[in-house]
Structure 1
Amino acid sequence: MSEQSRSVQSRTLVKNAWKAFAGHDAERIAAVFTEDAEWLAPPENATAVALEGPGHLVGRDAIVRFLAVDFPRFFVRDVAVTFHGFYADGDRVTVEETMTATLANGNHYANDYCFVFELQDGLIHRVREYMDTARAHRMVFGGAPNTRDQV
């Protein structure tokens, strides 16, 4: 398979994965991840703190639980994702997006994200998530994040 064909295939796989994520169907979500997949978000990001969970999810089951169970109980309604780009290079796909939602506490949420998906054997093996963590913290908790680790 040519590099261009592999990139097209990778981009299609990630676009279809987003559809599975949006449906919160555990079986459909599980079908797109390797068993030992990882999802790495910034440590102590507002969502992880509010849900009392880790920012680094290890294993398909942990990722599925977050996307199928925890995500919809935190982002409770009006969830909308506006995609700004899907960029593929072989087995890596970068996604730029803006997500808006209403949080469980009633606050409005709007943040920009960048995700880097690493694929292995036609499945998602690793996701690296980047966002404005200070902005998210303000929307979730109403104040500045703990700055104990910042210089």
Structure 2
Amino acid sequence: MAITHESVRELFKGLESGDGSAFFEHVADNVDWIVMGTHPLAGHYLSKKAFIEGTFAKLGQVLPNGAQLHTENVIVEGDQAVVELHSLATARNGMRFDNRYCWVVYFQDGLIVRVRAYLDSTMVGRLFEENSIA
């Protein structure tokens, strides 16, 4: 299956609509996902389960309505895509969490097998400092 601009945008619609499971159906169980930075979500995750537990589950504890991701731009070359996203979210304490992201996504046989995610580390750090989780 060839990766196209349209197929990548379609895949990311799950994240935009709050249906993370629709997006994660297209992520390999053994995905190699690095969240860059120095903040509570940063790390090298070697499975879909570890990534979700280390990021989305933690965010769910401080963002009652989720991250509300929106795709801004998609660039596709071969089996990889660069996807720029932004979030429009409000934390438990009312803090706006309008972050920007750039994900470099690698596909194999139609599945996402590797991601390098870049975001505003300072904003993520502040989110967790002001909205502590147990």
Q: Deviations over 1:59-117 (max 9, x none)?
A: 12223445764443332227433332111001111011221201234321111111110
Matched, 1:34 2:64: no
- Kept after mapping to 1: 8 A contact 2:3/2:110: no
Aligned length: 128
Match of 1:17 among 11, 33, 41: 11
Displacement of 1:137: 2.4
Give me the whole-angstrom Cα distance separating, in 2, the residues matched to 1:103 and 1:29.
Answer: 23
- In structure 1, how many angstroms separate the alpha carbons of the residues matched to 2:124 and 2:57? 20
Please list every run of 5 or more consecutive structure 1 residues that lacks an aligned counterpart in the other structure: 49-53, 143-151
Q: CA deviation at 1:23?
A: 1.0
Percent identity at matched positions?
23
TM-score of the aligned structures, taking structure 2 as reference length: 0.75
Kindly state the Cα deviation for residue 124 of structure 1 after the two structures are TM-superposed: 0.2
Could you say which residue in structure 2 is the equivalent of 1:45? 39
Q: Let me know the Cα RMSD of the aligned residues.
A: 2.7
Structure 2: 5+ residue runs without aligned partners?
none
* TM-score calculated relative to the size of structure 1: 0.68
Give secondary structure in 2 for the equivalent of 1:106: coil
Contact 1:115 1:130 in 2 (8 A): yes
Q: Indicate the structure with greater strand content.
A: 1
**How far does residue 35 in structure 1 lie from its aligned partner after superposition?**
2.3
Determine if the alignment matches structure 1 residue 122 to structure 2 residue 110. Answer: yes
Q: How does 1:70-149 map to 2 (within 5 A)?
A: 70-77=58-65, 79-141=67-129
Greater gyration radius: 1
Give the distance between the partners of 1:132 and 1:79, measured in 2 at CA: 14
